[in-house]
Amino acid sequence: MSTRIAFIGGGNMATSLVGGLIAAGTTPSAIIIAEPDPDKRAQLAQQYNIVTTDDNLATLQQDVVVLAVKPQLMQAVCRQLSTAENVRQPLFVSIAAGIRSRDIARWLGGNVAVIRCMPNTPALIRCGATALYAGDTVSAAQKLMADEMLRAAGITTWVADEELLDVVTALSGSGPAYFFLLMEAMQKTAINMGLDADVATKLTLQTALGAARMASESDVGPDQLRARVTSKGGTTAAAISSFEHDDFHIHVSNALHAACNRSRELTNELGKDQ
């Protein structure tokens, strides 16, 4: 990837992207990170052989500027960038949760190309799922740049309506925690039923990994995979029957709706001018 990329913020998600980009062939000299913490700047420069700076405005010379700051800091950072004069306009890519692209564009001074995306934490091991949204000001070439960059951390997909990113947040953004909760419950129950903790942990994690791989590599959906391993009158059928008796699907639906509604609330709160 020959695109020159800047990151504002050197946190976990930004560094996972940097590692993925370099592994995919991006030249380290094409990457710059603006980070206020001097110790972290030194660590990043040594680890990735990239340029680091404490000056956010220095990032505006790149083709893409990834806004990787905490949502609460986004407005202040964007307003600072809007004060720069006589610089080319890069593509801005926000990986901050809960802030609309139109709010980011407004804080940047307007008439800028902004792509908003929702990654998730497995991006830290380059196994993430990222959904992206681009408004009318974003060109096809810029969409391609953003897609190629985010694919360094996993799979990517695009949504046509920015409001759907709230659903994405509820599904894949928050989703890893749901699976962690299920794994935690399975592990603890198996221990309470007599299994050694190490055995319970090993079997739980490998079962989750195996099920995910089977689902992702199969030519049929999870519903058919479940049916294939649920023999009538067997142990799996007894467990599934218990889940269904306790309205498992309704609990999952309620959880996703709660996360989606909270995402919308945060989006409205964070979009207000300070």
Residue type for 64, please?
V
Domains of the chain: 5-163 (3.40.50.720), 175-264 (1.10.3730.10)
Q: What is the pLDDT of residues 12-63, one digit of tens each?
A: 889 989 988 988 889 999 999 999 999 999 999 999 999 999 999 999 999 9
CA 120 – CA 172 distance, rounded (Å): 7
Helix axes 12-23, 38-48, angle to 10 degrees: 20
Q: What is the pLDDT of residues 79-135, one digit of tens each?
A: 999 998 767 789 999 999 889 999 999 999 988 999 999 999 999 888 999 999 998
Q: What is the pTM of this model?
A: 0.90
H or E element, residue 155: strand 154-158
CA quadruple 239, 245, 249, 255: dihedral sign? negative
